[in-house]
Amino acid sequence: MIAIIDYKCGNLRSVENALDRLGCEYKLTADPAEIIAADKVILPGVGNAAEAMANLEATGLIPVIKSLRRPVLGICVGLQIMCRDSEEGNVKCLGIFDSHVRRFPADPEAKVPHMGWNQIGNLNLGKCKLFNDVPSGSFVYFVHSYYPTLCQDTIATCRHGQMLFSAALKYENYYGTQFHPEKSGDIGEQIIRNFVNL
The residues assigned a catalytic role are: 76, 180, 182
Binding residue (CB under 8 A) for another protein from 30, 50, 122, 141 = 141
Closer residue to another protein, CB minimum distance, 136 or 152: 136
CB of 111: closest distance to another protein in angstroms? 6
Closer residue to another protein, CB minimum distance, 66 or 103: 103
Closer residue to another protein, CB minimum distance, 171 or 184: 184
65-124 positions binding another protein, by CB under 8 A: 106, 108, 110-119
Per DSSP, what are the bridge partners of residue 142?
116
Tell me the residue type at 38: A
Piece of 66-74, 123-131, 134-142, 164-172 that binds another protein (CB under 8 A)? 134-142
CB of 151: closest distance to another protein in angstroms? 23
Closer residue to another protein, CB minimum distance, 1 or 22: 22
CB of 72: closest distance to another protein in angstroms? 22
Q: Where are the beta strands (DSSP E) in the chain?
A: 2-5, 26-29, 40-43, 72-75, 85-86, 91-92, 100-103, 114-119, 139-144, 146-148, 154-160, 163-171, 174-177
Contact (CB, 8 A) for 72 and 112 = no
Contact (CB, 8 A) for 180 and 76 = yes
Binding residue (CB under 8 A) for another protein from 155, 171, 182, 191 = 182
Give how far Cα 180 sits from Cα of 44, 58, 116, 148, Å: 10, 25, 10, 14
Report the candidate in 98, 36, 85 with the shortest Cα–Cα distance to residue 65.
Answer: 36
Contact (CB, 8 A) for 78 and 176 = yes
* 126/34 Cα distance (integer angstroms): 29
Q: Is 164 helix (H, G, I), strand (E, B) or coil?
A: strand
Binding mask 6-45 for another protein (x = CB under 8 A): ----xx-xx--xx-xx------------------------
CB of 117: closest distance to another protein in angstroms? 4
Interface residues with another protein (CB under 8 A)? 10-11, 13-14, 17-18, 20-21, 46-48, 106, 108, 110-119, 139, 141-143, 145, 159-161, 180, 182-186, 188-189
